[in-house]
Amino acid sequence: MLNIPGLASAAVKAAPFPHFYLERSVSPEHIQDLIADFPQLDQGGSFNIRDVETSARFRQFVEQFESEEVRQILGEKFAVDLQGKPMMATLRGYSRAKDGRIHTDSKTKLITVLVYLNEDWQPQSGRLRILRSGTDMDDYTDELLPGPSSMVAFKVTDDCWHGYPSFEGKRQSIQINFLTGEGVRAKHQFFHKLSAKLKALFR
């Protein structure tokens, strides 16, 4: 299902930090099926994929990122050795007005990959911006559509600033992270699971 040729040929931009954008990361015949399979998540925040009921097809798509072929492609693009590094997959289905604020990813993450599974994106807000700094949402080099199967991938650095203008509503994405170690994955998964339980409790 993953568009391996497109992934392999995607050009990495070095500035303001190493990243690339792929408009179609899913083979055309599978895009609508994966969008339809995306779990119904009507609350904000990230959910461990293993804590959410998903189809076998959806899990199979995510598991492709574990393959040696994909690890090698991403590792070579960003000059990061992913051999033996644990992978974590989380899902987001709903954006709250407060989401999308400027941030960098945790240093426990080596590479972040975002795959968006939305229909054609019409709103002007909610579009991911690759930023030059951590202070100005309008100082960006790229504004990327979270459309059907679009992918953004970047190397986690001290200055990998990104975010999107406030948007509230359905905004579906898979986040893949390659992490520095197994203990880190367990810690991330624990806190995502705890957060999901708390949200369900107070819903």
Name the residue ranges covered by the structural domains of the chain: 4-202
Average of pLDDT values for 165-175?
98
pLDDT of residue 162 exceeding 90, the answer is yes
Q: Which CATH number is 4-202 given? A: 2.60.120.620
Q: How many CA atoms lie within 13 A of 166 on its CB side?
A: 3
Tell me the CA distances in angstroms from 202 to 87, 92, 170, 195, 197, one per residue in order: 30, 18, 20, 11, 9
Average of pLDDT values for 9-15?
98
Please provide the average confidence, as pLDDT, over all residues in the chain.
92
Whether 109 contacts 82, CB under 8 Å: no
| Dist CA 175 CA 157 (whole Å) | 17
Note the pLDDT of residue 47.
95
Average of pLDDT values for 113-118?
98
Q: How many CA atoms lie within 13 A of 135 on its CB side?
A: 0
| Dist CA 54 CA 57 (whole Å) | 8
pTM: 0.90
Retrieve residue 7's tokens. Answer: 């992934």
Q: What pLDDT digit, counting tens, does each position of 173-190 carry?
A: 999 999 998 766 555 555
β-strand pairing of 140-144 with 109-117: unpaired
pLDDT of residue 142 exceeding 70, the answer is yes
Q: What pLDDT digit, counting tens, does each position of 37-84 carry?
A: 999 999 999 999 999 999 999 999 999 999 999 999 999 999 999 999
Note the pLDDT of residue 153.
98
pLDDT of residue 23 exceeding 90, the answer is yes
